[in-house]
Amino acid sequence: MATVTAERTEVSSPDRSSSSGGASSVGGSGRVVAEYAGWVYHLGVNTIGHQYCNLRYLILRGNCLFMYKRDPHENPGVKPIRKGIISHTLMLQELGRRKVNTGEFYVLGFFNRLDGTKKGEIACATPGELCKWYEAFEQAKQQVQTATYDEYDLMSRSGRHRRLNTEDEINLVGHRPRVRRYAQHGLGKLVKIGKGPEMLLRQSSKIGSDKVLNAHVDDETGDALETHDWRCVRTVNGTRIFEDAANSKFSKGILLKSVGVVNASADSVFEVVFNLDRRNRYEWDVVTGDLELVETIDGHCDIVYGKYEAKYKTLWSSKKDFLFSRKWFRGQDGNYIILQMPTAHKKKPNKSGYRREKIPSIWEIKKLASSHHISKCLVTQMVEMQPNFWDKWKGSLSANFEISIPYYLLCQVAGLREYFAANPALTSESPTAIMQPKFLTHSSVNSDADNEDTNDEFYDAIAIDEDEEDSDEDNDDFVDSDPDKNSMGAKMKLRNVSWAIAGLALKKNKAASVVDIELNATSPRVAIDWSQLNGSLRQAKSEQESNCWSSPSGNGFMIRGQTYLTDHSKIAGGDPLLKLMAVDWLKGEDRIDSIALNPKCLVQTEAGKKIPFILVVNLQIPATPNYSLVTYYASERPINKESLLGRFVEGTDVFRDSRFKLIPSIVEGYWMVKRAVGTKACLLGKAVTCKYLRQDNFLEIDVDIGSSTVARSIISLVLGYITGIVVDLAILIEGREEKELPEYILGTVRLNRIKLDSAITI
């Protein structure tokens, strides 16, 4: 990151600037402003209903956005065709993969939650680029509270500066005045074929290095300890094949995985794996090549039909085909997961002469640290295999693993590695020149909304039993990486263990002080009759019960320790600060908002009104009907308004969005669901839309899971297996300053095998 001076300089709008962008912008308050720039695709619909996809150059300076037809740093004096500000009311949504004209793009949609007419869509060639723009827009939103809008002369009337307001917010729909003038004189002058930005489709727009946008992300931590017991059973062309010797009772068959290191970026590998083109598949896929897109559900889910190679039919005794739904997700750490689950579709019934195979599988593509600017990633493919076949093979009986479909599927990892080795051009980035971002630093501003850790989604739930020894199977996955990486991994392993030694001692010293700091220690405890506070979902009496809840300790979660700002170390969470007193499992035709104001809600009961403070978390689950999982956390003492919890409760929505964190951990459940949900902390206000209701003695947080296509896709998968899932959730407020560390768990809940039909209508 370049060193930036804090001296005051005059900032001009990019359309008047003649510089090449080599210096950072410094506002009148002495605060250096971040600037991101690069090429994107502007998507929309014209006046005659045709969809357009235009290559445009974006500059995001501070919280002000400019759109150009040409790069203003290479063409001084060029004017922006659109401009406006980014406010805290801007909502972002990753819409996933979409086919536009003849290309495939990854789309980012945004809209103003107070004015639905102000919206737009941009797209990038890869999901990695789109994620960087997402982070840039998020950082712009964080600056709203402290930004002085008149630092930028975006608009002027009679030559005088004025402060920007909501009328100046960016809007990428509708037509510019110049386009409207063209429309008045006919469309003939607008027709240009083959000479526009379409010639530049699929060019990369690197809007900045990962060190700038993801400086806070710690790629070495954040993964939960697995309950699997992986054992290598085969090595094929440098790719290791593992068996899950633990053989979890929640798996329908034997779980196998192949692991290999590919010398390419995670984005590049994802594109190749996801590509259905026959010619491309034939270069690395030994068993499938004829793939057909049956239906696109949304940007993160589709249905694919395919056939296994006919040349193997003599080995398998018949022709075989398959039909599966693909769900893909990209984490904030840049890692990918692709779920491939067998399904049925009316367009593809069972075909005569073919046997329909149903083999669930998962692709995981993880970035690896590498030297000399060479991209590397760890590619893992997991499949399920019938236990009877596997047992016969292990017993040296008639079964031959090497001619089975799962074996050929696992060999795809080796094919990918050789494919990229033979095509080095695929691993290099596009030479498209763009301006590197200048990152925001502060000389005199210290705001809760401005932070370096906005998208730290790493946390980690411990998904292993406390009495089970730590295994090092995950470390085996990284043996193929360079020695520096291995030494780094060893350090990280020791760091993860350190919380077990120092963390437990720290908790003993901090436990009492956390309560005293966050709650008003001078106020006497209020005697609460917990028996009078009941929800629609009953409390569990034993772990074997179904359709109930309990409140586990925080020891199954890792949170930021006292020294996190210097060494990123984490500790095991202790007992929750707030007591979980009840859980409601509700349903309705519409989304259930403001549940705490409902007369039937326990918050409105006489017992509820006597409680000093209640935190209501309403997880709104999109389905038919809509569900709401409502948890009620109570405190026997009033909140200290000067504490972190007090600032959160009484603070702004921007502050709450940037700090409220949820950590999931599936304790029991199908392995594909575990992989999809993961165990990484999520800043809910960044991932989905959250609404806050602060009244009387409570704060309600309505979490609209349906506002994110990714979250909606994951929750639809979870609902399909919910009766066999035990899931732990922890909520906390993210600590970002030394005085806010170590973090503490606000509350936890364990949901045991919930039944959908047990939800009640309120």
pLDDT score, position 478? 34
- Do 531 and 579 touch, CB atoms closer than 8 A? no
Identify the sign of the CA torsion 76, 79, 80, 85: positive
DSSP H stretches of helix in 332-462: 387-394, 405-410, 412-422
pLDDT score, position 227? 58
pLDDT lower than 50: segments of the chain: 1-30, 146-164, 166, 177-226, 429-460, 462-509
Q: What are phi and psi of 233, to 5 degrees?
A: -120, -15
Question: How does DSSP classify residue 118?
Answer: E
Q: What is the residue-wise DSSP string for 640-692?
A: -TTSHHHHHHHS-HHHHHHHEEEEEEEEES-HHHHHHH-S--EEHHHHSEEEE
pLDDT score, position 249? 57
Q: Give the CA radius of gyration of the chain.
A: 27
Give the residue among 627, 683, 633 at the shortest CA–CA distance from 658. 683
Question: How does DSSP classify residue 497?
Answer: H
Interhelix angle 266-274/412-422, rounded to 10 degrees, is 120
**What is the reported pTM?**
0.69
pLDDT score, position 595? 95
Residue-range domain boundaries for the chain: 25-206, 230-427, 535-761
Q: How far apart are CA 568 and CA 411, in angstroms?
A: 37
- Do 227 and 248 touch, CB atoms closer than 8 A? yes
Q: Which tokens sit at 745?
A: 């768990």
CATH architecture of residue range(s) 230-427: 2-Layer Sandwich (3.30)
643-686 residue pLDDT tens = 999 999 999 998 999 899 999 988 888 888 888 888 888 888 88
Q: What is the fold of 25-206? A: PH-domain like (2.30.29)
pLDDT score, position 592? 93
